[in-house]
Amino acid sequence: MISQDDKEARSKTLKTVREEAEGCTRCDLYKNATQTVFGEGRRSARVVFVGEQPGDKEDIEGRPFVGPAGTLFDNILEEAGIDRKKTYVTNAVKHFKFEPRGKRRIHSKPNAGEIRACRWWLDQELTIIRPDVAVALGATAARALTGKQVPITRLRGSVVESAEGVPVLITVHPSYLLRIPNAAEKERERERFAKDMRKVKELMKG
Ligand code: URA
């Protein structure tokens, strides 16, 4: 049964929800971040990619996945035959969480309360788009989408259900690939991620 909240969310547009999210104070992360980094893409997207939270560059530019992890992600999507412009890309948490270290801002992991608070926006994005598949890029996204802790290493490449019944493909975060020091292992892990993206493409067709 469709709840009243769902009906209300479906009658909204991504633009209205994005505008509402600009003033979000649902947790404390808005206090230090430059701006809300809302999702980007089409309402007609058949796939929604969910990352963890904006990084330093995303916080400044106000767009998701435009830094180094985003560039790698774009390249692998292209190889898998997925046009990012036809997808929707967002994050579990919409403000940059960081620790100041001198002039640098060091990424800090969002906690369970911050992930829960920000589900308010992710739920609305998913309700409006109703994709064939959502892709959890890493543990934070998997937690946001399923409402539970997900063992990424064990479930990587498999499809589980989100709290609202959307199929969720579990995979790693592209920044994990960037951090692997060994070249051979990096290449192996990149290929596994590319394989997951090919699976996403199949799920989009189905
Ligand atoms: N990492 C994320 O999870 N999201 C971004 O937007 C950028 C880096």
Does residue 5 register a pLDDT over 50? yes
The pLDDT-based confidence of 99 (bands split at 50, 70, 90) is very high
In order of 109, 130, 139, the CA distances from 33 in angstroms are: 14, 29, 22
* CA 63 to ligand 1: nearest atom: 6
Q: Is 21 left (phi over 0), alpha (psi -120 to 50) or beta?
A: alpha
Query: Structure tokens of 141?
Result: 């996204």
Spatial CB neighbours of 139, under 8 Å, sequence gap ≥ 6: 149, 150, 152, 173
Q: For residue 62, report the distance from its CA to the centre of ligand 1, in Å.
A: 11
- pLDDT number for residue 187: 98
- Closest ligand 1 atom to 89 CA: 6
* Structural contact between residues 184 and 167, judged by C-beta atoms closer than 8 angstroms: no
Mean of the per-residue pLDDT values of the chain: 95
Which residues have C-beta atoms less than 6 Å from ligand 1? 51-55, 58, 64-65, 67, 69-70, 91, 175
Q: Taking 50 as the threshold, does the pLDDT of residue 1 lie above it?
A: no
| 108-142 tens-digit pLDDT | 999 999 999 999 999 999 999 999 999 999 999 99
Burial category of 3 from C-beta neighbours within 10 Å (exposed 0-12, middle 13-18, buried 19 and up) = exposed
Atom of ligand 1 nearest to the CA of 65: 6
pLDDT at 7 (0 to 100): 65
- Domain 4-203: give its CATH architecture: 3-Layer(aba) Sandwich (3.40)
- Domain boundaries defined on the chain: 4-203
Render pLDDT for 147-167 as a digit per residue (tens, 0 to 9). 999 999 999 999 999 988 999
**For residue 64, how far is its CA from the centre of ligand 1 (angstroms)?**
6
